[in-house]
């Protein structure tokens, strides 16, 4: 302490000042110290939580909030087309950068906060921890899941950027990975991992592991603060692999709807190459491959879920102008994957797998037009020319068979069997009204020869489906079947079930044998896919009904109808410039089989006269005619009714009486 005679003394020093002859004290300032530095290394997780996800409660009081431009008043925002009122206003506010309703690459990230840290509040961190969101899987388990994703998911759902994902996964120990996306990848891949991987991960069944992966992904989706829109689209498309029971609304249709809404909100449904704004070519190319894949993945999932659920499609051809993908759209991003990551995680024959996905895009695009033509509520009834035109579209996009080639991997052969069955399913959907609901469904201007021809094509497609099922069994790959496969199997099963009603015992037994092969596949998928168990029970009950009716009316026949003589169908009209060749199911030309007799099942009548497929009431599970309707589908309520009144299979968990109360 130092005395200063020129300054007044403090209260405590007055007495001392008298004693010390008026000399008072001066308080020296405190010494400055360096701020304390945490001993924890940068990026090191605290309590198992990645540094990017640490709570920011302490820092939030000192963060200055900067005012940002309104998202709808930015030159980088997709504001929609001319039907909205903002278009003309935008031109007035931004005359130098007129927007003509096309996608800006900057719109993919502008307004998003992907570059900011994900800061969760303490209660959010607690919720994520309770759901297991920060519980890492053993490294060998996560490696197996990543391999399964690229082998069995990516080339039917190519939503990831392979180089970016694998770089983050292999070099940064998951610290900078988006955990919503990571758990979504693991959910989709769980369908295909081996049984020993499930055990190593600590799960008793595949369905149990899927439920855990879904919960971990969904908790991040529920409280997500930082994922950019593209990452959200990637994640929810992968989450569409989830479905557990009829009471849960967050199934495939729910997540696909979110993906489509998000994609349209940033203009992914518009061709970026046609936009007129001042964007460099490199900016457009930067995300073009990914956005093209994401949009067409939305289209694919929309078409097949519409077929499975009997619901309207969300995407219409006239509302988007994105060009069909090419090989570079899916292969370009693999070029920068490190050699070590390629060896460890990527399957062989990437070019062949990419070509198969492009075929799937084309088939699904045509399937959308088929569904709209047959099942629209308003509009004219399709004519002969409409049907033939769509047949030629399907013929043009038929994939060349690869499964018989010896120089291809088993993964390629399996993918080829899938795409061939998807193609046959689209053909069956095109022609099944003329088998299941004949003769009322025939176009007015159709000839008897045309009617026999289309019925033959429907049965040929259903039989070809069985041929590729046999190949999957030969590959011992039934457990690797994709979720969409079940939807593609149902049209063929409807044809086989209808043929079980034939008045001729030999034909009925043949239809029964074909149906049994499909049932065998579904039975083996019941421990993986909930929908496989539902369809198995449904068709099993239908067969029992036919069998009980057949005891009184003939072999597996509900009616004893006179059958016309066997007739050989006329060959299908060949595309322009090609001659028709009658070949095996593996050849490029669609095979033609001899016709079964036209048993002539009468139009479905349920007290209300003739029914259009779009006006079918809820299904009566004791009426086989409804199951055979071209527009048949199971609503969630009907599915629940079926499960609650039918004995369960052990593979499906038993479905006790209180099943829906304990989930």
Residue 613 pLDDT grade (very low, low, confident, very high; cuts 50, 70, 90):
very low
Residue 186 has a pLDDT of 97
* Nearest residue to 372 via CA among 613, 618, 83: 613
Q: What are the tens digits of pLDDT across the range 430-473?
A: 999 999 988 989 999 899 999 999 999 999 999 999 999 999 99
- Cα 437 to Cα 335, 381, 427, 600, 614, distances in angstroms: 51, 14, 16, 9, 13
Residue 227 pLDDT grade (very low, low, confident, very high; cuts 50, 70, 90):
confident
Distance CA 639, CA 486 (A): 15
Distance, CA of 17 to chain centre:
86
With beta carbons less than 8 A apart as the criterion, state whether 532 and 514 touch.
no
Over the chain, what is the mean pLDDT? 76
Where is pLDDT greater, at 464 or 61?
A: 464
Residue 603 pLDDT grade (very low, low, confident, very high; cuts 50, 70, 90):
very low
Where is pLDDT greater, at 102 or 501?
A: 501
Residue 598 has a pLDDT of 40
The residue whose two tokens read 């903002």 is 86
User: What is the DSSP track for 217-238?
Assistant: HHHHHHT--S--HHHHHHHHHH
Q: What are the tens digits of pLDDT across the range 172-181?
A: 555 678 999 9
**Partners of 26 in beta bridges:** 2
Where is pLDDT greater, at 85 or 384?
A: 384
Rg of the chain over CA atoms, in angstroms?
32
Contacts by 532-536, CB closer than 8 A, 24 or more apart = 532/486, 533/649, 533/651, 533/652, 534/634, 534/639, 534/642, 534/643, 535/486, 535/489, 535/490, 535/493, 536/649
Q: Is the pLDDT of residue 615 over 70?
A: no
Q: What are the tens digits of pLDDT across the range 269-326?
A: 998 776 544 344 444 456 899 999 999 999 999 999 999 999 999 999 999 999 999 9
Distance CA 159, CA 302 (A): 15
Distance CA 30, CA 472 (A): 80
Other beta carbons within 10 angstroms of residue 71's beta carbon come to 13
Instruction: Give pTM, 2 decimals.
Output: 0.74
Q: What percent of the chain stands above pLDDT 90? A: 49
């Amino acid at each position: 302490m130092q005395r200063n005679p020129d300054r007044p003394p403090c209260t405590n020093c007055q007495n001392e000042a008298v004693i010390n002859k008026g000399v008072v004290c001066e308080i020296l300032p405190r010494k400055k110290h360096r701020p304390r530095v945490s001993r924890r290394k940068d990026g090191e997780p605290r309590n198992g939580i990645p540094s990017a996800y640490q709570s920011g409660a302490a820092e939030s009081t000192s963060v200055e909030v900067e005012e940002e431009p309104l998202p709808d008043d930015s030159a980088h925002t997709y504001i929609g087309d001319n039907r909205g009122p903002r278009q003309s206003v935008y031109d007035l506010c931004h005359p130098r950068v007129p927007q003509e309703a096309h996608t800006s690459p900057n719109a993919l990230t502008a307004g998003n906060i992907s570059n900011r840290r994900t800061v969760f509040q303490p209660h959010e961190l607690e919720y994520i921890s309770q759901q297991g969101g920060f519980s890492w899987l053993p490294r060998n388990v996560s490696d197996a899941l990543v391999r399964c994703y690229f082998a069995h998911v990516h080339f039917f759902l190519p939503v990831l950027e392979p180089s970016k994902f694998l770089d983050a996964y292999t070099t940064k120990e998951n610290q900078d990975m988006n955990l919503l996306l990571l758990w979504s990848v693991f959910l989709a891949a769980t369908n295909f991992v081996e049984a020993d991987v499930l055990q190593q991960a600590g799960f008793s069944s595949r369905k149990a592991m899927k439920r855990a992966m879904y919960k971990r992904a969904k908790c991040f989706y529920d409280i997500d603060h930082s994922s950019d829109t593209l990452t959200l689209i990637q994640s929810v498309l992968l989450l569409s692999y989830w479905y557990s029971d009829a009471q849960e609304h967050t199934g495939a249709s729910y997540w696909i709807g979110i993906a489509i809404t998000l994609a349209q909100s940033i203009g992914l449904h518009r061709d970026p190459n046609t936009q007129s704004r001042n964007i460099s070519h490199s900016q457009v190319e930067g995300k073009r491959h990914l956005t093209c894949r994401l949009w067409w993945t939305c289209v694919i999932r929309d078409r097949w879920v519409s077929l499975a659920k009997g619901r309207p499609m969300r995407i219409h051809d006239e509302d988007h102008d994105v060009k069909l993908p090419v090989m570079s759209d899916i292969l370009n991003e693999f070029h920068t994957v490190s050699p070590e990551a390629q060896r460890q995680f990527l399957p062989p024959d990437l070019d062949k797998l990419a070509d198969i996905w492009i075929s799937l895009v084309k088939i699904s695009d045509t399937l959308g037009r088929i569904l709209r033509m047959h099942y629209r509520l308003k509009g004219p009834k399709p004519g002969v020319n409409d049907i033939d035109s769509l047949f030629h579209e399907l013929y043009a996009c038929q994939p060349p068979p690869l499964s018989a080639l010896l120089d291809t991997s088993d993964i390629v052969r399996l993918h080829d069997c899938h795409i061939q069955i998807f193609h046959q399913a689209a053909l069956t959907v095109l022609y099944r009204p003329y088998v299941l609901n004949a003769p009322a469904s025939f176009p007015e201007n159709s000839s008897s020869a045309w009617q026999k021809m289309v019925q033959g094509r429907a049965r040929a497609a259903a039989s070809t489906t069985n041929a590729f099922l046999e190949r999957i069994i030969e590959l011992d790959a039934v457990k690797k079947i994709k979720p969409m496969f079940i939807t593609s199997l149902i049209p063929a099963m409807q044809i086989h079930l209808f043929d079980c009603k034939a008045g001729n015992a030999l034909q009925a037994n043949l239809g029964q044998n074909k149906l049994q092969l499909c049932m065998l596949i579904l039975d083996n998928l019941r421990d993986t896919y909930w929908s496989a168990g539902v369809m198995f029970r449904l068709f099993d009950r239908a067969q029992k009904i036919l069998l009980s009716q057949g005891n009184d009316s003939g072999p597996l026949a509900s009616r004893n109808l006179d059958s016309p003589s066997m007739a050989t169908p006329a060959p299908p009209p060949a595309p322009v410039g090609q001659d028709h060749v009658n070949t095996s199911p593996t050849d490029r030309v669609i095979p033609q089989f001899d016709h079964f007799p036209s048993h002539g099942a009468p139009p479905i009548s349920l007290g209300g006269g003739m029914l259009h497929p779009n006006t079918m009431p809820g299904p009566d599970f004791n009426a086989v005619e409804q199951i055979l309707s071209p527009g048949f589908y199971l609503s969630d309520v009907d599915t629940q009714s079926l499960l609650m009144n039918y004995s369960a299979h052990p593979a499906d968990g038993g479905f006790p009486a209180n099943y829906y109360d304990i989930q």
